[in-house]
Chains A and B, each alone.
Chain A
Amino acid sequence: MLNKLLFKNQDKKQLIIAIIGAFMGITFLITSIHYLIRVNEFGEGADILGPNTIIVQKKVSNSSTLGFARTDFSKNEIQKIKDKPFIHDVKPVIANNFDVSFETADPLVPRFRSDVFIQTVDPEFLDVDLTNWDWKEGNDFVPMIMPRDFLVMLNTFMSASGIPQISDDLAMDIKFKFTLSNNSDSEKEWVDARIVGFTNEVASILVPETFMTYGNNKFSDGTEQKITQVMISGEESEFGLVEEMLEKRGLETKNSQMVVGRLKSMVGTLFLVVLGISVIAVFVSGLVLIQYMQLLMTRNSYEVRTLMRMGHHPKKIIRMFFLYFVKIFGVVAGLGLILFFIFKFFLDSMFANGGLYIGTSVTIGSISALLIAYALFAFASYRTATKGIFNEY
């Protein structure tokens, strides 16, 4: 009866417009947050290098070949790159300043030996368990991250030798050995090594910094260590600026790293725009709903006043208005969630067809955004209802 008295015979045009606005806003809010998170996650875990990380070096030109231009980075140059707002961090890639050779040391694998180039990077840029990424003198083996191309080469070699090819996991069980020596070959040392991960982005073998320092201290001929590569991690969705900076400074990187970064920035920006519009839509439609509640209370001021004079408690009437509107918003949020799942079904397959294999599970962020929007609306509804009813008391 109270519902009939307060909510029947109302002009629902404004309510319907607000509901449609809130429905669309909620749908796009959840969708954009979900895909913003998923796109930013894209590429994480695919490589041992952290997300949004690239290795850059200076472009080799004729003048640098002739010795007129430097190909190494000064500390000042590194600091200038680091100072850019879209750069998260910059660290030098340190290379060996001594001779290193690498060979298999496992009875199950045919002997394979090669002179190699090893490098070390700050562990902050690597997606590895740091407890395994450590070495000190006396340890059983040196952990190393291998270029995936090395495994391809090893498998080619195994195949040619009539031995079955090996997987990533099996490769991590093979024993290897480094031979460290000085330029004159007068000093030598052998150290066991194991693969702990693979990378598509680095062409050399990565080792812990402590091992590199140990080798450089013990076997270097004393010449100055030059930094020819630096590792850069950029801020999310700002890869265009990173790319522009690289171009301006005559730096280059592996194209695949740039493509992923560019793609993530582009799609991320697109969803950020949709997110912005969605937030505005939800906010405006929420305001229209609240305004409609105020209008409804004003139109029912006689009924509200009389009910309270009859002995109905103001809190009971507040609860009625509050529940009426949070139920409406709840239905809108539920319908928005259903439409999001329908969108998601089509968008996920569209992304997959386009070669973007993003996570398909629902992100906590998108559901949290829905809950936050609902909680804010519920709070605003309660405050408005309380104020409106007590104005009539």
Chain B
Amino acid sequence: MPKPLASIQHGEKSIWGNEIELNNGKKILLNASSGKGKSTFATTVFGLRNDYEGTITYDDVDIKTLSVDDWTEIRKSKISVVFQDLQLFPKLSVKENLLLKNSLTDTFTEKELLERLELLEIENKWEQKCGLLSMGQQQRVAIIRALAQPFKWLVMDEPFSHLDEENTQRCLKLIDKRATDINAGFVLTTLGDDHSFNFDQELNL
């Protein structure tokens, strides 16, 4: 239970205060209204905050005991995240934003990155600075950046909030294919919409 959320009344099925296990390769929907802790969940499992009570384990290791080296390795090749605020570099181009991530593991070639941009219909933004893109375009860049690494889990915090249904479906299809290809799971947080996707598991807050 995150300390800032301790004063809020949570439902019986809420993951806060209960023990849950996320199994490898599962596609999970985390459904909750605003202020219930979706972003807290994403940042906590990613090791960015530790103001919680209870234990979170990753491969049976308490994540509070992980070192800087461990977290660097996890963020590089085990858990990938699409943050709600995207966390792109606005002064760098789309290409530079993607290569900065991709260069850590050489997951894709430049051609493969361009192909993914093309699938999401933003290939013409390759050389454009991210700060000049619309929020919807930035969300698509952030999704491709998150895919440009090996991972066991992909955590996405409301990644489609600025996308229309058509673009959402394109993104979801790309994410699903990539996760299936590398036998990885993902957690998608939403405000209630399941985007007509057949999730393996649904979590509540």
Binding site for B on A (CB under 8 A): 1-2, 4-5, 8-9, 303, 306-314, 393
Say whether A312 contacts B89, CB under 8 Å. no
The answer for the CA separation of A310 and B76 in the assembled complex, in Å, is 7
Q: Given A306-B87, A309-B87, A311-B149, answer yes or no on A1-B76 (Cβ-Cβ < 8 Å).
A: no
Say whether A310 contacts B104, CB under 8 Å. yes
Say whether chain A's binding surface is mostly helix, strand, loop, or mixed.
helix
| Interface of chain B residues 28 through 62 with chain A (CB within 8 A) | 46, 48
Q: Given A309-B48, A310-B104, A314-B68, answer yes or no on A5-B89 (Cβ-Cβ < 8 Å).
A: yes
Q: Given A1-B92, A4-B92, answer yes or no on A312-B104 (Cβ-Cβ < 8 Å).
A: yes
A391 shortest CB reach to chain B, Å? 13
The answer for the CA separation of A2 and B92 in the assembled complex, in Å, is 10
Q: In the complex, which residue of chain A has the Cβ closest to the Cβ of B46?
A: A309
Say whether B75 contacts A311, CB under 8 Å. yes
B33 shortest CB reach to chain A, Å? 26
Write out the residue numbers on chain A whose beta carbons fall within 8 Å of the beta carbon of B135.
none
Write out the residue numbers on chain A whose beta carbons fall within 8 Å of the beta carbon of B75.
308-311
Q: In the complex, which residue of chain A has the Cβ closest to the Cβ of B95?
A: A1
Whether B100 sits at the interface, judged by CB under 8 Å, is yes
Q: Given A1-B100, A2-B100, answer yes or no on A313-B48 (Cβ-Cβ < 8 Å).
A: no
The answer for the CA separation of A324 and B128 in the assembled complex, in Å, is 27
Say whether A310 contacts B101, CB under 8 Å. yes
The answer for the CA separation of A393 and B46 in the assembled complex, in Å, is 13
Q: Given A309-B48, A393-B68, answer yes or no on A9-B76 (Cβ-Cβ < 8 Å).
A: no
The answer for the CA separation of A8 and B93 in the assembled complex, in Å, is 14
Q: In the complex, which residue of chain B has the Cβ closest to the Cβ of A310?
A: B101
The answer for the CA separation of A349 and B14 in the assembled complex, in Å, is 86
Q: What 0/1 readout, one digit per residue, does chain B (76-94) give for beta carbons within 8 Å of chain A?
A: 1100010100010101100
B9 shortest CB reach to chain A, Å? 32
Say whether A303 contacts B104, CB under 8 Å. no
| Interface of chain B residues 106 through 158 with chain A (CB within 8 A) | 149
B18 shortest CB reach to chain A, Å? 28
Binding site for A on B (CB under 8 A): 46, 48, 68-69, 72-73, 75-77, 81, 83, 87, 89, 91-92, 96, 99-101, 103-105, 149
The answer for the CA separation of A313 and B72 in the assembled complex, in Å, is 6
Write out the residue numbers on chain A whose beta carbons fall within 8 Å of the beta carbon of B89.
5, 303, 306
The answer for the CA separation of A393 and B100 in the assembled complex, in Å, is 18
The answer for the CA separation of A222 and B87 in the assembled complex, in Å, is 101
Write out the residue numbers on chain B whose beta carbons fall within 8 Å of the beta carbon of A311.
72-73, 75-77, 101, 104-105, 149
Q: In the complex, which residue of chain A has the Cβ closest to the Cβ of B92?
A: A5
A312 shortest CB reach to chain B, Å? 7
A387 shortest CB reach to chain B, Å? 14
The answer for the CA separation of A211 and B81 in the assembled complex, in Å, is 93
Q: Given A311-B77, A314-B68, answer yes or no on A5-B91 (Cβ-Cβ < 8 Å).
A: yes
Write out the residue numbers on chain B whose beta carbons fall within 8 Å of the beta carbon of A8.
91
The answer for the CA separation of A240 and B68 in the assembled complex, in Å, is 62
Write out the residue numbers on chain B whose beta carbons fall within 8 Å of the beta carbon of A310.
75, 100-101, 104
Q: Given A1-B99, A2-B100, A393-B68, answer yes or no on A309-B91 (Cβ-Cβ < 8 Å).
A: no
A7 shortest CB reach to chain B, Å? 12
The answer for the CA separation of A393 and B69 in the assembled complex, in Å, is 12
Q: In the complex, which residue of chain B has the Cβ closest to the Cβ of A312?
A: B104
The answer for the CA separation of A378 and B50 in the assembled complex, in Å, is 34
Write out the residue numbers on chain A whose beta carbons fall within 8 Å of the beta carbon of B105.
311
The answer for the CA separation of A393 and B75 in the assembled complex, in Å, is 13
Write out the residue numbers on chain B whose beta carbons fall within 8 Å of the beta carbon of A393.
68
Write out the residue numbers on chain A whose beta carbons fall within 8 Å of the beta carbon of B100.
1-2, 5, 307, 310
Return the 7 tightest CB-CB contacts between A and B, nearest first.
Answer: A311-B76, A311-B75, A313-B72, A306-B87, A311-B104, A310-B101, A1-B96
Write out the residue numbers on chain B whose beta carbons fall within 8 Å of the beta carbon of A306.
87, 89
Say whether A9 contacts B91, CB under 8 Å. yes
The answer for the CA separation of A303 and B104 in the assembled complex, in Å, is 16
The answer for the CA separation of A1 and B103 in the assembled complex, in Å, is 10
The answer for the CA separation of A336 and B75 in the assembled complex, in Å, is 44
Q: In the complex, which residue of chain B has the Cβ closest to the Cβ of A316?
A: B72
A236 shortest CB reach to chain B, Å? 52
